[in-house]
Structure 1
Amino acid sequence: GSVIRLTSFTADGARPAEQEFLVAGYFKTGLYELDSKGIFMRLREANQYLELTDAGGNMKVSGIRVSVDPEHAGPQALPALKRKLEAELGKTEILFVKTETWRETRATLLNAVKAEKIIVSIILGVVILFAGFMIFIILTVQVVEKGRDIGILQSIGATSTGVANLFFFAGTSICLSGLTLGTLFGISFGMGINTFQRWVHLLTGLEIFPQDVYYLDHIPVKFRLEDLAFIIITTVVVSLLASLIPARRAAKKLPTEGLRYS
């Protein structure tokens, strides 16, 4: 029931257009650009407000938006729909017809998101490799430091396989512990990232996810099982390989090597 005053320019840009309208209702889409600037009104009222009607009283529009059922919006459907729209509109007095999908309209944003995803994947790969390298370093140092203990175990009957398994399981334990904690932290952080963003904005004034850049009023979060499974499997494989080398080195040690300087 509120009254708002809109100020714009007429279609020819010759003079300002100002008029009051009664608000029938409002809703939120989550798209920042639409929520901050979008207004839905009757076509006739919009034409009168912007003086778009011609001498014969015919109303004008600058564009038509068509929504397609996702089940029928396959690769073949969109080009066919574009051709049909251009053919139908071409029969009218419209001089210029251009059709765009939302992906074409938001191509810059989608390309930026794609580039960011590639960068994040590279960073994640480096982190996984670094974690595997750290496991390798830790176990290698342990093999050197525990040389005497390895010699004692072998002298009392421990097999090379048993010694290798000891260090291999140590690396596996480090991997699984870090993977479990990292997965739980990542999921928890993803679920609460919008709350975290609001707290950062309140405390520092820094906006991590600018709405006017990403066109959304919140950070969309979606957990994909295939991505999570790929990350977990890759981490486990890298960690197991990193554990295998020091484990084999420990297994090849002779009892005399560990006991020589003890």
Structure 2
Amino acid sequence: MYRPLELFIGMRYTRAKRRNHFISFISTISMLGIMLGVIALIVVLSVMNGFHKEVRERILGMASHATISAVRGGLTDWREVDAMAGKNPHVIGRAPYVEGQGMLINGQKVSGVMLRGILPAEEGKVSDVVTAVKKGSIDDLKPGSYGIILGQELAYLLGVGVGEKVTLVTPQINVTPAGIMPRLKRFTVSGIFEVGMGEYDRGVALLHLQDAAKLMRLNDSITGVRLKLDDLFLAPKVSRELALKMGGYYRISDWTMQHRNFFAALQTEKRMMSIILSLIVAVAAFNIVSTLVMVVTDKQADIAILRTLGASPGTIMGIFMVQGAAIGFVGNLLGMIGGLLLATNVEAIVSWVEGVFNVDFLDPNIYYISELPSDPHMEDVLSIGVTAFLITLLATLYPAWKASRTQPAEALRYE
């Protein structure tokens, strides 16, 4: 006798031509439903991973992986801190910075702005803003020249270009015979940058470190030191190591803390999308239930004969579980292959569709990301495959249990 018997007979039932062609049709529909559900899950999660990666890279193009600042006031011994941080093997870039709030004025146009003082020669080690300068050059920021580099949207809002003047108002005050006055300083626009994130293009202005420190009356101190790591996902671990090494005298934060809510929202969105799209696989699994129920009804005589030959209820149940699992396995495998192929080529496919139908799915005038990014992760593909297969196995339980309850005498009475 063939061993295991359940596998042999179950696979025979799967391959056999049925008297009832409707059952074969439902089986095919079930397989296609599982395949399409798995494809949809893989493609959607891959596109979401691509969006998350794109947004993360744009945020970290301006923000740093980790930041060291003073617990209170400015950082006076920043050169020692800089040297100490550089000894960590994961730190590949360091740059001092000064940060504060201000307001830019050009005629009747006013806008709040985050001021960031930088050293042009060092900034490229921790951010991508050096390469993001579209007009002018970051090297034009000279100490004492009071030059300023604006984000593209901010420059557009203020109506200024390279070489023009803007007035900067800071929260610091001057005491004059006329009373208390805010500090005002005229700056020359030395450049315009564009990083593709409205938060930065609309709300950040770059100054030379010395000019910013003088403007904010920090004297020889700075706000902190920004760090770039060889692996951005090691930022929490490296931050803890540096905090322990520096004895808790400094505040050390990383990008996962600074943007915790934003990235948590993205992760929650991805989780909810996977749950919603899993319903497609669940619907296809209901088709497997209906298919096996009809097969059990169609095979009543075969079940009765197997029972009279000594097959146990567990054997009968295993036969139909094998048949349902085979349908789910084939649909799942085709879905994983199709999903990976579609996810890795989704940008080319979308570009082709846009060219054929002359439409823009992501209009560059509206969205910062004009292409559909895709970043398939094997752990996502494997988890989708395992989950889909488990759903199909669960769908086989009731029909298989119903088959195992068949009474041979009742089934053969009218044969």
Deviation at 1:240, TM superposition (A): 1.3
TM-score using structure 2 length:
0.43
1:47-126 alignment runs, 5 A limit: 49-51=163-165, 61=206, 68-69=228-229, 71=231, 73-74=235-236, 77=239, 113-114=266-267, 116-126=269-279
Hey, what does 2:111 align to over in structure 1? none
**CA deviation profile, 1:184-241 (whole Å, cap 9, x unmatched):** 0100000110011101211223333444565334333222232222222222222112
Residues 175 and 56 (structure 1), Cα distance of their counterparts in 2 relative to 1, 3 Å cut:
closer
**Given the alignment of the two structures, is residue 147 of structure 1 paired with residue 309 of structure 2, yes or no?**
no
Hey, what does 2:334 align to over in structure 1? 181
Q: Which letter does structure 2 place at the counterpart of 1:143?
A: V
Percent identical among aligned pairs is 24
**Given the alignment of the two structures, is residue 207 of structure 1 paired with residue 300 of structure 2, yes or no?**
no
Hey, what does 1:134 align to over in structure 2? 287
Deviation at 1:70, TM superposition (A): 5.1
Give RMSD over aligned pairs: 4.4
Residues 251 and 43 (structure 1), Cα distance of their counterparts in 2 relative to 1, 3 Å cut:
same
Hey, what does 1:195 align to over in structure 2? 348
Hey, what does 2:369 align to over in structure 1? 216
Q: For the Cα contact (< 8 Å) 2:141–2:207, is it kept in 1?
A: no
Q: For the Cα contact (< 8 Å) 1:168–1:244, is it kept in 2?
A: yes
Structure 1 Cα separation of the partners of residues 164 and 343 of structure 2: 45
Deviation at 1:14, TM superposition (A): 3.7
Structure 2 Cα separation of the partners of residues 133 and 63 of structure 1: 65
Structure 2 Cα separation of the partners of residues 115 and 146 of structure 1: 46
SS at match of 1:49: coil
**Mean CA deviation greater in 166-175 or 154-163:** 154-163
SS at match of 2:369: coil
Which of 140, 159, 166 is residue 43 of structure 1 equivalent to?
A: 140
SS at match of 2:406: coil
Gaps of 5+ in 2: 1-103, 109-127, 149-161, 168-184, 191-204, 210-224, 244-248
**Given the alignment of the two structures, is residue 165 of structure 1 paired with residue 318 of structure 2, yes or no?**
yes
Residues 14 and 214 (structure 1), Cα distance of their counterparts in 2 relative to 1, 3 Å cut:
closer
Q: For the Cα contact (< 8 Å) 1:139–1:167, is it kept in 2?
A: yes
Q: Which letter does structure 2 place at the counterpart of 1:142?
A: V
Q: Which letter does structure 2 place at the counterpart of 1:122?
A: I
Q: Is the helix fraction higher in 1 or 2?
A: 1
Q: Which letter does structure 1 place at the counterpart of 2:315?
A: G
**Given the alignment of the two structures, is residue 13 of structure 1 paired with residue 106 of structure 2, yes or no?**
yes
Deviation at 1:167, TM superposition (A): 0.8
Q: Which letter does structure 2 place at the counterpart of 1:230?
A: S
Structure 2 Cα separation of the partners of residues 219 and 56 of structure 1: 39
Residues 239 and 202 (structure 1), Cα distance of their counterparts in 2 relative to 1, 3 Å cut:
same
Residues 139 and 184 (structure 1), Cα distance of their counterparts in 2 relative to 1, 3 Å cut:
same
Deviation at 1:136, TM superposition (A): 1.5
SS at match of 2:385: helix
SS at match of 1:68: strand
Structure 2 Cα separation of the partners of residues 56 and 208 of structure 1: 41
1:23-34 alignment runs, 5 A limit: none
Structure 2 Cα separation of the partners of residues 106 and 213 of structure 1: 26
Residues 157 and 63 (structure 1), Cα distance of their counterparts in 2 relative to 1, 3 Å cut:
farther
TM-score using structure 1 length:
0.64
Structure 2 Cα separation of the partners of residues 67 and 73 of structure 1: 9
The number of aligned residues is: 219
Residues 50 and 84 (structure 1), Cα distance of their counterparts in 2 relative to 1, 3 Å cut:
farther
Q: Which letter does structure 1 place at the counterpart of 2:165?
A: E
**CA deviation profile, 1:111-151 (whole Å, cap 9, x unmatched):** 77446424421222212222222212211121122212322
**Mean CA deviation greater in 237-246 or 214-223:** 214-223
Residues 63 and 74 (structure 1), Cα distance of their counterparts in 2 relative to 1, 3 Å cut:
farther
Q: Which letter does structure 2 place at the counterpart of 1:43?
A: D
Deviation at 1:73, TM superposition (A): 3.1
Answer 1 or 2: higher relative contact order, Cα 8 Å, separation at least 6: 2
Gaps of 5+ in 1: 1-10, 16-30, 86-99
Q: For the Cα contact (< 8 Å) 1:200–1:207, is it kept in 2?
A: no
Q: Which letter does structure 1 place at the counterpart of 2:164?
A: L
Q: For the Cα contact (< 8 Å) 1:168–1:240, is it kept in 2?
A: yes
Q: Which letter does structure 1 place at the counterpart of 2:229?
A: D
Q: Which letter does structure 1 place at the counterpart of 2:405?
A: K
